[in-house]
Amino acid sequence: MPTSLFIAKLLGPLFLVVGAALLSKPEAFRALLREFVASGLILYMAGFFGLLGGLALLLVHNVWALDWRVIITLIGWASIVRAVVTIFWPQWIVSIGAKLIEFRAAFAAAAAADLVIGAILSYFGYFA
């Protein structure tokens, strides 16, 4: 359990800050997304580091328990899947990114998801 608590303390505030930033500055993130999908190098680097982070997370925390800890495991697996798609099929990421730029509600939905995940992880990491 100490590993789960450490990761929750690490990722919880990160998700909270990103969610709050997405909610408060959606136009800035829309501009960042435009730059991201326009750069092959940035796409590859995001895939590389996403794969590295996802693998590192799962190497220390691949817990399939029916409690809050599974959130950490799902984040690791989601990072790996997204990274592999980004590395092998960057055109999909570009296509999805272009759609997300136009779909304004996507940023609010992403912010809400980040805030919920961040709140859950922070609660269990710091207060439970």
Per-residue H/E/C for 101-114: HHCCHHHHHHHHHH
The predicted pLDDT at position 104 comes to 86
- Mean pLDDT, residues 61-66 taken together: 97
Quickly state the pLDDT bin for 17 (edges 50, 70, 90).
Answer: very high
| pLDDT surpasses 90 at 80 | yes
Q: What does the chain come to in residues?
A: 128
pLDDT above 80 for 92: yes
Please compute the mean of the pLDDT values over residues 97-112 and round it to a whole number.
94
pLDDT(1) > 70: no
If pLDDT is split at 50, 70 and 90, which confidence band does 122 have?
very high
Nearest to 63 by CA among 54, 74, 53: 74
User: Mean of the pLDDT values across residues 33-41?
Assistant: 96
